[in-house]
Amino acid sequence: MTKFELLSKTKNGAYYHVKDASVALLNSLRRTINNKLPTFAIDEVTFFENTSALFNEYIAHRLALIPLKFDPNASPDVKITFSLEATGPTVVYSKDLKSTDEKIIPALSHVPIIVLGENQLIRFEAVAIRGTGSEHAKFQNSHASYSHYPELKIKGSKGDAVKFLPKGSVDEEGKVLRPEKLDVGQVSENVSVLPREGEFIFLVESYNGENPAEILARAITVLREKTDELKTELK
């Protein structure tokens, strides 16, 4: 049975040690996380006033790429309205967007939208809908990748060998401490980094503040549902 063990966390993601897995399984999971997990993104913008230096279409494109928090309990066909009105001189940020749903708001507060000059005005309403990365890149709320779990082959003195490896990745005795810092295939005169059979490092990164463990759990659920659908079709 495939097992996931947490290795370490980053600011926006987490590394997992995966055991008893295949490349096919992890690639399917990676594709599911990158393209099949639903999230929210601004899809339509209605401009009432815009005397700024930027065209409406340019601003709408920026709005669509602002990551929004995800509410798993929201209806699949729900539409969330954002409104904004500002007069220059000022910098308009994502935090200035007013949402009709307090659970679905910009994940980052200081994404710059536009710089307004003296007496320049902007006023619009935007509608966010739910979608997946396979429909459009603006719906991609996370990223996943994987690599082989590293195993060291040391020649001669362990102390001399580890000097060639990234700082903090191994201790003075050659014991691996941070496998995610090692690159399989790395070779020097005294040490080689080899892949361990059936074991991998899986990275999950979030763009909208969602917990990587929740992203992984949602992806596994989606993958199971797709597999069950395929089994039904084959009967």
Residue pLDDT, tens place only, 147-204: 999 988 888 777 777 777 888 888 877 788 899 998 888 777 778 889 999 999 999 9
pTM higher than the cut 0.85:
yes
Question: Which residue ranges form the domains of the chain, and what is each CATH number?
Answer: 3-36+142-234 (3.30.1360.10), 39-139 (2.170.120.12)
How much is the pLDDT for 168? 86
> Which residues, 6+ apart, have CB-to-CB distance to 131 below 8 Å?
38, 39, 40, 41, 43, 138, 139
Residue 49 CA: distances (Å) to CA of 12, 112, 122: 36, 19, 5
Place of tokens 């790429």: 65
Band (233; pLDDT cuts 50, 70, 90)? confident
- Integer Cα distance of 62 and 227 in angstroms: 36
Q: Compute the mean pLDDT over every residue in the chain, rounded to the nearest whole number.
A: 91
On whether the CB atoms of residues 153 and 192 are closer than 8 A, the answer is: yes
> Which residues, 6+ apart, have CB-to-CB distance to 148 below 8 Å?
184, 195, 196, 199, 200, 201
